[in-house]
Amino acid sequence: VVAGGSMLQLIQAAGNKKRNSNTGGQKTCIVSLVQSQKDLNFIKELLESGKVIPVIDGCYPLSETPEAFWYFEIVHPRGKVVISVEDNNKT
């Protein structure tokens, strides 16, 4: 959970990633949920305190977003599918 930032930052981070649709064409999907800063901070506190533990079915780096969408649509996971926008390859 990240409290703050902008949709433009997310779009720029995602780049121009496209995935194949079921009809053979290509489409780009971006899903956004707008909440208040107060709500996001409350959710963040619940997660950090361990009072709420999300069920995570799989984690994907941003570069594997098409695979994450495939997994979500085909496998129908029971938990959340997470796409990380952090650069974990920094040394």
pLDDT digits (tens, 9 = 90+) for 54-75: 888 889 999 999 999 888 888 8
Query: Residue 49 pLDDT more than 90?
Result: yes
Q: Region 21-47: what's the mean pLDDT?
A: 67
Task: Give the integer Cα–Cα distance in Å for 85 and 22.
Answer: 26
76 part of a folded domain:
yes
Q: Is residue 78, in this structure, part of any structural domain at all? A: yes
Distance (Å, whole) CA 44 – CA 3: 8
In a domain? residue 2 = no
pLDDT confidence of residue 24: 52
Residue span of the structural domain in which 38 resides: 7-84
How many domains does the structure of the chain reveal?
1
* Whether the predicted pLDDT of 47 surpasses 70: yes
Residue 89 located in a structural domain:
no
The beta strand positions in the chain, using DSSP E, are 19-20, 26-27, 56-61, 80-84
List the helix and strand counts (H, then E) for the chain: 3, 4
Residue 1 lies in a domain: no
| Amino acid 61: pLDDT | 92
Residue 91 within a domain: no
